[in-house]
Amino acid sequence: MRLRMLAPVVVAALAAAATACGSGSDAESGKQTVTMWVYPIIPDEAKHKAFWDGQIAAFTKDNPNIDVKVEIYPWAKREESLTTAIAGNKGPDLVYLIPDQIPKFAKAIQPVDSYLSDTAKADYRDNVKQAVTLDGKLMGAPILMGANPLMCNRKVLDAAGVEAPKTWDDVLAIAPKLKEKGFDVTNYYADPGATLNQSFYPLLWEAGGSVFTPDGAKVAFDGPEGLKALTFLKTLADKGYVEKDLLTGIPAFEQTHLAQNKTACTWQQVPADVESFWGAENIKIYPPLSDAKQVGYGSIGALSMLKGSKAKDAAGKWLAFASGAAVTKAYDTASGFFSPQKSTGALYTDGPNAEMEKTLDLMQGAPLHDKARDVMGVLAPEIQAALIGQKSPQQALTDAATAANALIGQ
């Protein structure tokens, strides 16, 4: 894809990246210091810190002249903090990024292909590599992935006497039976504050569509595939097959039909969200829904190197170690995520995570485009307008595309 013009504040910050950031070396000791920024992947901060302390100790045994510092920052305003750090020549050597952040910081990122062995690169799942590859270059070393397949409540399915759906047609077929028993067939967050990565985009992909054209020059969601996906959603909304309140707001989760055992299936939540409400025994995992394609959203987390690092060789050694299969296997197991590498095998032997793990190759990452977040910002309210009856699906997509293409520069 082609990179588009970045916002002025980001351009200014990234321009400074070529001259400084990272920790560099100590002339007296001969040691090089590598700093890596991560975020609360393991929710318990003490356990998270202990994990990286252990990995640093193992790495240092073979690399005594490299001093690694892992700093755990909050999720909130992480992009702003990184942009500010780069602009002030205080950025880290390595930083944890997800795919739709990579294009935004592309001017400041050092491709990592040369720091990873051919074996390591070949070990990544194809969909994982694709999610972090820009202009043919690997812009980060993936260390984890998530999955949002179809998750259903066995209690609800049994109460309505229906089977879990496999296709969009199945959803429409069982929805009336569920409604008759007082249940929703699924949930859909249409409030613009909800990410489209987990809501609309999976349906767009399942219809055979994409958010952007292959060259990234303009959006593609306003094509026949997008219209099919939005029309499917509007049918669910118009017939009362989804919770009406979720179309206009994001209530506390415990107040939703999903938490109250009144919704059959969802692709917008994961087991950890519902276990305390449904009971583990009622959580059933199935592959993503299919229409033209069978695909779901899967988050990808990667370690990227900044061009301004003063210790690239040292940072590259730590990067190769920290993204290696042995470390990611331990990290992903501790955090409840999944391995992006094939060689690790299954991390989970039973329960919902074991079933989710089987769907990893059906997952797709967020769109790799520097305007991905901005485009989402103009598309989300138009989808909502269609679902609450203010616009037709076609008009909503056309209006969103006009605004989105203006953002891209078309």
| Residues 392 and 230 sit within 8 Å (Cβ to Cβ) | no
Alpha-helical (H) ranges within 280-324 are 312-322
pLDDT digits 0-9 by tens, 298-344? 999 999 999 999 999 999 999 999 999 999 999 999 999 999 999 99
CB 336 within 8 A of CB 271: no
- pTM greater than 0.85 (yes/no): yes
Domains of the chain: 8-147+301-357 (3.40.190.10), 150-297+371-408 (3.40.190.10)
pLDDT tens string 191-229? 999 999 999 999 999 999 999 999 999 999 999 999 999
| Confidence check: pLDDT of 14 > 60 | no
Residue indicated by tokens 């229409």: 291
Range 118-131 average pLDDT = 96
* 74 pLDDT more than 70: yes
pLDDT at position 383, please?
98
- What pLDDT sits at residue 170? 98
Give the model's confidence band at 15: pLDDT under 50 very low, under 70 low, under 90 confident, else very high: very low
pLDDT tens-digit map of 366-407 = 999 999 999 999 999 999 999 999 999 999 999 999 999 999
Which tokens is 193 given?
A: 């504050």
CA of residue 235 relative to chain centroid, distance: 27
**How far is the C-alpha of 327 from the C-alpha of 141, rounded, in Å?**
12
Tokens 């202009």, residue located = 135
What per-residue confidence (pLDDT) applies to 169? 98
pLDDT at 23: 59
Tell me what the pLDDT averaged over the chain comes to: 92
* The pLDDT of residue 86 is above 60: yes
Q: Mean pLDDT across the stretch 62-69? A: 97
Q: Any idea which residue has 């901060």 for tokens?
A: 45
Give the containing element (helix H, strand E) for 273.
helix 271-278
CB 83 within 8 A of CB 9: yes
Residue 182 pLDDT > 80: yes
pLDDT at 100: 87
| pLDDT value at residue 89 | 86
Min mean pLDDT across 3-7, 277-281, 365-369 is at 3-7
| Average pLDDT for 156-162 | 98
How far is residue 93's CA from residue 306's CA, in Å, rounded to a whole number?
6
Q: Out of 7-11, 105-109, 266-270, which region has the weakest mean confidence (pLDDT)?
A: 7-11
Where is pLDDT greater, at 19 or 252? 252
Give me the mean pLDDT over the 336-359 stretch.
Answer: 96
pLDDT value of position 254: 97
- For the segment 270-287, the average pLDDT, to the nearest whole number, is 97
Reply yes or no on whether the pLDDT at 16 is more than 60.
Answer: no
Residues 6+ apart with CB under 8 A from 104: 6, 10, 79, 370, 373
Per-residue pLDDT band for 24 (boundaries 50, 70, 90) equals low
Tell me the percentage of the chain whose pLDDT exceeds 70.
93
Single-letter amino acid, residue 263: T
What's the pLDDT score for residue 249? 96
More reliable by pLDDT, 410 or 312: 312
Its sign, for the CA torsion 145, 149, 154, 155, is positive
